[in-house]
Structure 1
Amino acid sequence: MNRVVMTAQVVERRAMRYTPAGLPALDLSLKHESEVTEAGRPRKVSVEIRAVGIGAVAEQLQKLAVGSTAGFAGFLGSQRNGKGVLFHVTELEPI
C-alpha cells in the first residue's frame, strides 16, 4: 500500500499548468512539523516535500494561500526527472 496522510503548510505554490492530456496540474512544496514517538522516545520531525495535484484537486490547491495549513492525502511517486520523491495529492481538507 502506498498512502500518505499529513497536515502540512504550503511553502511554495507554482502557476497552474496543464498535462498533455489537458488536465490542470499544480506543483507545490509542503512542510510538515510534528513530534512523534519512536522506540519509546519523543522525536521532532520536520520535512519539506515536493507535491503535485492533478485534475479537480489542482483547482482546490490553487485556492490555498502560501503559508496556509491543510490536511493532505495521496501517494508517493518519483519526480519527472527520476530523482527524488513526489507526493501526489489526491485529497485535500482545509483547516
Structure 2
Amino acid sequence: MLTGRLLELSALRYTPAGVPVLGFRIAHSSQQSEADVERAVGCEISAVALGPNAQLMAGAKPGEAVRLTGFLAAKSLKSRSLILHVNEIEFLEGNQNGI
C-alpha cells in the first residue's frame, strides 16, 4: 500500500484486446523508522492501471491524494526499471468513487 499525490496522468489508451490502460506518476512522502531512527522519505513512482481502474484514474486530476495497492514489476523486458501495477485505488479526498 502506498499513498501519494498525483503528479501527472497520461492519456487513456487501449490494448489491442480493448483493455483500458492509463500510466501515471505519484509523489510519496512519509516518516519511516529505520534502525530505531525516524527519517523522512520522499520519492516519485511510476504506476499503471488497467481495466476499470484505468477508467477511474482517467477522471482524476494532478494534485489529488490517493492510496494505491498493487505490485512492483519491471517496466518491460528491455527496461528493468520498476513500475507499480495498481490493483486498488482509493481517493483520499474529494468525491471520486463516492468517497
TM-score (norm 1): 0.91
* Paired AA for residue 80 in structure 2: K
Q: Determine what percentage of the aligned residue pairs are the same residue.
A: 34
1:15 matches 2:15: no
2:89 aligned partner, one-letter code:
L
Match of 2:53 among 44, 50, 57: 57
AA partner of residue 87 (structure 1): L
Matched, 1:34 2:34: no
Unaligned runs of 5+ in 1: none
Instruction: Return the match for 1:86 from 73, 83, 92.
Output: 83
Q: Choose between structure 1 and 2 for higher RCO, CA contacts under 8 A separated by at least 6 residues.
A: 1
Amino acid across the alignment from 1:10: L
Structure 1 residue 21 displacement after superposition: 1.5
Q: Which residue identity lines up with residue 56 of structure 1 in the other structure?
A: P
The Cα of 1:83 is off from its aligned counterpart by: 2.8
Query: How far apart are 1:82 and its partner, in Å?
Result: 2.3
Q: Which runs of 4+ in 1 moved over 2 A?
A: 80-83
Q: CA RMSD in A?
A: 0.9
Instruction: Name whichever structure is richer in strand by fraction.
Output: 1
Size of the alignment, in residue pairs? Answer: 91
SS of 1:9's equivalent in the other structure is strand
Superposition deviation, residue 84 in structure 1: 0.3
